Structure 1
Amino acid sequence: MINVVLTFHGARNDNLGVGALTASEVEILRGIAKRTGIDVQITVIDALGTREAYITGPDITVENVRVLRQPHKVLRLMRQADLVIDIGAGDSFTDIYGRRRLNVLFILKYIAHITRCPLVTAPQTIGPFTKPVSRFLAKGSLRRSAIVATRDKLSTQCARELGINGSIIEASDVALRLPYTETSKAEGGPVKVGINVSGLLMSGGYTGKNMFGLHIDYRKLITDIIERFINHKIDCELHLVPHVISAVKGSVEDDLHACNELAKTYPSAKVAPEFRSPSEAKSYISGLDFFMGARMHSCIAAFSSGVPVVPMAYSRKFAGLFDSLGYHYTVDCTADASETIIEDIFSAFENRSLVANEMAQAFKLGQQKLLAYEKALEDLICTLSARQELR
């Protein structure tokens, strides 16, 4: 039996993007267990929360840990583990979000190193790192990792610039593997257009002061897009789709609150349900005809379920991921003018069949790139299992 600990994943995270990464990582591990016949047991180190866990199963244990207050509990769990997989919540392996988040990430990584438990740096965005101490600790952990995988070229380049000369697997986002139930699309009727509205960007980021340096007024951009779709010559049915649904309603991150507020002004728009899991959100999105959003994993849900999508970037992670797959429909909210963003969105909408064809090829490439990570992880698990048999 191989005991795997997942860090900076989430079994009940309000951010369904983090949940999508976790569900997909579990899916990959279950596939390895099925192919190899090795019993893989998974422990998710998670934060305390009121939401019911949506990552469940007889192979899943969720441990609630306050990392800064309970490092001894982390130490115990990792001493009992055969393997630690860290995914950095997809994009947290950077210091642009502040010190606290990165400090927790480094504590988890270095406890794994101290226990000599093999650490896998799963496909994620690496960097940017703006401070020397961040670069030093990131380099030290990556050098000690059993596997280093990124999800885009920019992250691979960042790791190389840190001085990582060993093997780096440039994979893609594991959420391409997220299971879902396809929603059938009725023939005829209005075109179903989905807009993921980011509560975080509507709030100006965590600071409330345009934390991400947007070049546009995000709130006005969203209302302009909504009004243009409502008045479009093609009959459109507008869906406002949350992908962060906060347990504390109306919090700075809460997409659902932002969607509900917009629906008061635009009552013809439909607000998607309060999704209970990442797969439920993806299943809903799969029934749309066109999509755009500022939550990257809402866009990945569309991308990997065949729905033409325009990602609305607020950081480099968007272009890093999608450009690495040859998909060039991302708009940049930190650099582009509102008029340019709107023109690009509606150009993609009016050419959505062409976009869908290009997206299908890009998705195929993403799946192929993920296979390299899965193969390396499977080889590592087989090696660890063989060592157990020799004891």
Structure 2
Amino acid sequence: MINQNTNIILAGNSSYLNRGCEAITRGTVEILKHYYKEPKIIAASFFDNYRDYKMQLANETDDSIKHIMLKKHLTQGNIKNIYRILESYYYTGNLRYYSYEYLNKFLKNTKVVLAVGGDVYSLDYGIPKPYTDLNEYFLSKRKPVILWGASVGPFTSKPKYEAYMKKHLKRITAIFAREDVTMDYLDSIGVNKKVYRVTDPAFLLPIQQPKDITSIPDNSIGINISPLMSRYITKNNIDQLSYKTANIIDKIISKTDKYIYLIPHVGATNSNVYKKDYRFLKKVNDLIKDKERVVLIEDKYSASEMKWIISKMQVFMGARTHATIASLSSGVPTISFVYSIKGLGINKDIFNHTDYCIKKSEWNPDIILEKLIHVLDNEKMIRAYLDEKIPVIKQQALLSGKYLRKLFKE
């Protein structure tokens, strides 16, 4: 039984500099506190560096959360390293590269591990070896592991690796899938036992007004376009993507009377340019011809504060999945810049269509402006629909706690 004397580990997330990761954690805590009295939570997360870890420790506002830093320790031995190279080439997935034995001291009073990486069980960021090895470690210690509010796959493009993942997923204690497309994919590879349909815990992220922002004009368009999109739009050319983005915003400014808010949602203190939304949006801002109605939001706000900012938009256009979840969960008409099944899946689950998505093939100022005008023209209808739909989505997120209790027969 899960109680005040047992731990719940949230494993595999990243730093709060990624507001989506923070939103998953905060939403998960809302779920656990709804079903359990004073849960003791250990957030075991990957950080880019020790400084980020110490900063997160210092800035944590929830006393129920204890943070620990996950380290990717490679297993020892030259032979294993040779296998590592060969196996990464063939993608069979069978060899464990990473050792997490240093976590043993946290396991004594741990009742369950919630794998909270969101979409890391996919090929969007490469082979998810650190995460599968982490969960295999917990399973080897006889700890139940639940993929929590997750997207899974597809791995179809790498058949040998997909065969490994099928076996691995069957070893996982339970899968709480956040979209129908994940449910469908799991069923297609024969993983259909102890699979539960929920929604992303980030839909339950509380909202908080920043102390230094008093108001935002009603006719504001929020835009979050990440440098990560360059992988899919401009063949990794971030500068070219910044010019394309500036052209899109120039078009919107010239054809509407709207204010434009450029809103970062992922940051980094290391050299990974794909995580630096603010730096990218600042370059975009510099390229915009008419800046009179453009506001660049600083990269200093928490996930809840970013959600407040996004909630004040007339329409929001976002690339980061959890930026769009912040928008949708606030009832704001939302256009999603999508590059994978998860963006399409969330839209289809909410709207039963993907009309409010911008696909890779649609990255054109005229197409994007046309879609924005369509959403603006139908704003009242979309808001009314979201007012009815989002409470249902939030209840589905809360179901995760109900299913967790069911698994432990509580």
TM-score (norm 2): 0.81
Given the alignment of the two structures, is residue 20 of structure 1 paired with residue 23 of structure 2, yes or no?
yes
Cα distance in structure 2, aligned partners of 1:41 and 1:128: 34
Map 1:197-276; keep pairs closer than 5 Å: 197-202=225-230, 204=231, 209-210=235-236, 218-233=241-256, 235-248=257-270, 251-266=273-288, 267-268=291-292, 269-276=294-301
Q: 1:104 aligns with which of 107, 122, 130?
A: 130
Backbone CA RMSD of aligned residues: 2.7
Q: Which residue in the other structure is 1:31 paired with?
A: 34
Cα distance in structure 2, aligned partners of 1:123 and 1:67: 23
DSSP-derived class of the 1:164 partner: coil
Deviation, structure 1 residue 75: 4.0
Deviation, structure 1 residue 315: 1.1
Cα distance in structure 1, aligned partners of 2:251 and 2:67: 45
Quick one: structure 1 residues 283 and 314, their matched pair in 2 at CA, closer, same or farther if it must change by over 3 Å?
A: same
Map 1:310-329; keep pairs closer than 5 Å: 310-326=335-351, 328=353, 329=355
For 1:189-248, what per-residue CA distance to the aligned partner results, in whole angstroms no more than 9, with x for missing partners?
66111101212224x37x98349xxxxx74454223311221234x21111000012224
Cα distance in structure 1, aligned partners of 2:402 and 2:383: 29
For 1:275-312, what per-residue CA distance to the aligned partner results, in whole angstroms no more than 9, with x for missing partners?
33211111111122211011111111111112211111
Deviation, structure 1 residue 107: 0.7
Quick one: structure 1 residues 79 and 160, their matched pair in 2 at CA, closer, same or farther if it must change by over 3 Å?
A: farther
State which drifts further: 106-115 or 58-67: 58-67
Q: 2:100 aligns with which of 71, 74, 80?
A: 71
Quick one: structure 1 residues 150 and 180, their matched pair in 2 at CA, closer, same or farther if it must change by over 3 Å?
A: same
Given the alignment of the two structures, is residue 288 of structure 1 paired with residue 310 of structure 2, yes or no?
no
Deviation, structure 1 residue 150: 0.7
Cα distance in structure 2, aligned partners of 1:273 and 1:210: 25
Cα distance in structure 2, aligned partners of 1:242 and 1:220: 17
Q: In the alignment, residue 229 of structure 1 is paired with which amino acid?
A: I
Cα distance in structure 1, aligned partners of 2:172 and 2:362: 38
Contact 2:28 2:201 in 1 (8 A): yes
Q: Which residue in the other structure is 1:172 paired with?
A: 199
Cα distance in structure 1, aligned partners of 2:246 and 2:179: 32
Q: In the alignment, residue 386 of structure 2 is paired with which amino acid?
A: M
Q: In the alignment, residue 95 of structure 1 is paired with which amino acid?
A: L
DSSP-derived class of the 1:310 partner: strand
Cα distance in structure 2, aligned partners of 1:281 and 1:40: 26
DSSP-derived class of the 1:169 partner: strand
Q: Which residue in the other structure is 2:96 paired with?
A: none
Query: Can you give the 5+ residue segments of structure 2 that lack an aligned partner in the other structure?
Result: 75-98
Count residues with an aligned counterpart: 367
Q: Which residue in the other structure is 2:10 paired with?
A: 6
Cα distance in structure 1, aligned partners of 2:169 and 2:107: 18
Cα distance in structure 2, aligned partners of 1:185 and 1:359: 25
Q: In the alignment, residue 333 of structure 2 is paired with which amino acid?
A: P
Contact 2:226 2:274 in 1 (8 A): no
Q: Which residue in the other structure is 1:388 paired with?
A: none
Q: Which residue in the other structure is 1:85 paired with?
A: 114
Cα distance in structure 1, aligned partners of 2:310 and 2:265: 11
Quick one: structure 1 residues 76 and 335, their matched pair in 2 at CA, closer, same or farther if it must change by over 3 Å?
A: farther
Deviation, structure 1 residue 270: 0.5
DSSP-derived class of the 1:95 partner: coil
DSSP-derived class of the 2:273 partner: coil
Q: In the alignment, residue 304 of structure 2 is paired with which amino acid?
A: S
Cα distance in structure 2, aligned partners of 1:78 and 1:128: 31
DSSP-derived class of the 2:362 partner: coil
Given the alignment of the two structures, is residue 127 of structure 1 paired with residue 153 of structure 2, yes or no?
yes
Cα distance in structure 1, aligned partners of 2:243 and 2:348: 27
TM-score (norm 1): 0.85
Cα distance in structure 1, aligned partners of 2:271 and 2:207: 26
